[in-house]
Amino acid sequence: MQSLYDIPAPAKLNLFLHITGRRADGYHLLQSAFMLIDWCDTLHFELRSDGVISREDLSSPLPAEDLCTRAAKALQSATDCTLGAHIGILKSVPAQAGMGGGSSDAASTLLALNRLWRLQLPLEKLMAIGLKLGADVPFFLSGRHGWVEGIGEKITPLELPAARLVVVKPDAGLDTKLIFSDPGLKRDSETAIISGFAANTKTFGQNDLQTVAQKLCPGVTQALEWLATQGLNGRMTGSGSAVFAHLLHAIDLQNAPAAMQVRLCSSLDVHPLLGWANSDGLSVASVR
């Protein structure tokens, strides 16, 4: 039995994000197109035979019960697995950025331990476990860019044109709960369809959270203004403070604000761990 893995956990960008309503339980209904990008955390897994889940922070310190640890314990509980694992986490994707870093880590943990422990759970069962950990986890498990609806659990895999992007993360992050609880949040966008998005993937729609986010975090506005100085039309991704723009020409990274992380990224063709669990048979929609 292979006893260790070193695997990536890629980030995502929301190419748009519309809030179309709200459920009776308070959860917001959304539509978005998620793009996988090559900004990744790296996770190291070693098999333990004693059932213990231990963790080592290889960069910035994480909370005691981070999503990797919670994912490992949830998988143990769901399968009555008696094996354990030591998990090393090298963080690169910034927190509170809206890029899904923690959810991606959880998804890669479920996929890695499903293999390391030889559980052979199919993808749909891993996705059910993942949804309880966070709304974005099923997307990362699905393995492809996605058209995402509901509270994040309805996923149609997408083929997207290859893209080069610049991503800017202000020093300050954003708390998702503060944005979604703001009374000024737009919650009534019209329902979109994939064909409408496909007509222009670079400029379709908007991020309905951006206006509230700019009120809560001046760094979002500053990042967007810097992109504008480079001749780029920026947009916030997700519910964090990071913004992005499609790279249309060379830009000058030397004058980027010192307090911000600026990174040139490429879209991925598929998730690096696609196929690590049995396929659930979802068809892939193409917008090429």
User: Which residue in this structure is represented by tokens 């975090």?
Assistant: 217
The residues near 198 (Cβ < 8 Å, ≥ 6 apart) are 287
CA distances to 41, 90, 107 from 46, in Å: 17, 15, 17
Q: 21 - beta bridge partners?
A: 29
Q: Which residues contact 206 (CB under 8 A, 6 or more apart)?
A: 16, 17, 18, 235
Active site residues: 12, 136
Both tokens of residue 241?
A: 């403070």
Report d(CA 28, CA 22) in Å as an integer. Answer: 4
